[in-house]
Amino acid sequence: MTRRPALLLHGVALMAAVVTSAPLLWMCVASIMPTGEATSTPFRWWPSSPTLEHYRVLFAQLDLGRAAMNSALIAVLTTAASVCCNGLAGYALAKLRFRGRRGITRLLSLLLIVPAPIALLPLFLVLKSLGLVNSYWSAVIPGAATVFGTLLVRQYALAIPDDLLDAARMDGASEWRIVRSIVWPAASPILASLAIWSFVASWNDFLWPLVVLSDDAKYTLPVALAALAGEHVQDTELMMAGSVVTTVPVLILFATLQRFYIRGVLAGSVKG
């Protein structure tokens, strides 16, 4: 390869990276601008005097810290439930011999194409009749067991050798013991992918918590931010600070654990 095409290649890639990251960079910069500076000409890429005032307002006056705690709690509970439910179910469908296995697997593959918004209204009614609306559980439930998660684990667990499991059974190990000492370690990479995938999906979810959490003390970050965005349309710097608080935790999580996240994305895409 000669010099000039390589230079062009890197130039184009760099340009694409700049355009891609510009909105997020500007979000961070605008969040520390003094009030009014993000909506003034000429356009600025750096505050005249950086300030954390907007973050102070968000946490001290607008109680965004509470929304952050709600988001964290719901995302952690969802992740734990998802790893347990989908992990066990996926393993059972992949490796345990029982009648009905094929039928259930096929049914799940069919359900995979039903998108969540379809069930939105009736799911609300179901939770309402169970008295769960406006509780944290109502926000956790849709992500606790998912068709996608179960099939993801199943696909991976298929590769666990049967001989290994049967040998353990010969030695008199209980099924539960086998799960803990063989399956859990063997499947840990895909469970890690599932965990980070569940966490990010739960943290970012908007439509469902918007519907089901009516008490603003229970709002998650996206719902609280959307409510703020309606009231504080003019306070651009404040809204940018709120967006930073909402996006940066998942961005950091993604940056540190992206190996697992990417594996989850790719494993999910193979299934179709």
Write out the binding residues for other proteins, residues 74-103 only, by CB under 8 A. Answer: 84-86, 88-89, 91-93, 96-99, 101
Count of residues that interact with other proteins, criterion CB under 8 A: 93
Smaller CB separation from other proteins, 46 or 118:
118
Instruction: State which of positions 172-191 bind other proteins (CB under 8 A).
Output: 175-176, 179
Query: For the chain, what is the radius of gyration of the CA atoms?
Result: 23
User: Using the rule CB under 8 A, is 250 a contact of other proteins?
Assistant: yes
> CA of 115: how far to CAs of 222, 233, 240, in Å?
20, 32, 31
Minimum distance of other proteins from residue 54's CB (angstroms): 13
d(CA 216, CA 46): 34
Smaller CB separation from other proteins, 41 or 48:
41
Which residue in 129, 139, 119 sits closest to 219, CA to CA? 139
User: Using the rule CB under 8 A, is 52 a contact of other proteins?
Assistant: no
> CA of 222: how far to CAs of 37, 93, 125, 133, 204, in Å?
25, 35, 23, 18, 7
Smaller CB separation from other proteins, 49 or 113:
113
Smaller CB separation from other proteins, 20 or 188:
20
User: Using the rule CB under 8 A, is 69 a contact of other proteins?
Assistant: no
Residue 191's contacts (CB-CB under 8 Å, 6 or more residues apart) are 83, 87, 153, 184
Residue corresponding to tokens 């959490």:
213
> CA of 198: how far to CAs of 88, 134, 256, in Å?
16, 21, 16
User: Using the rule CB under 8 A, is 124 a contact of other proteins?
Assistant: yes
Select from 158, 159, 167, 251 the one that contacts other proteins (CB under 8 A): 251
User: Using the rule CB under 8 A, is 170 a contact of other proteins?
Assistant: no
Minimum distance of other proteins from residue 239's CB (angstroms): 5
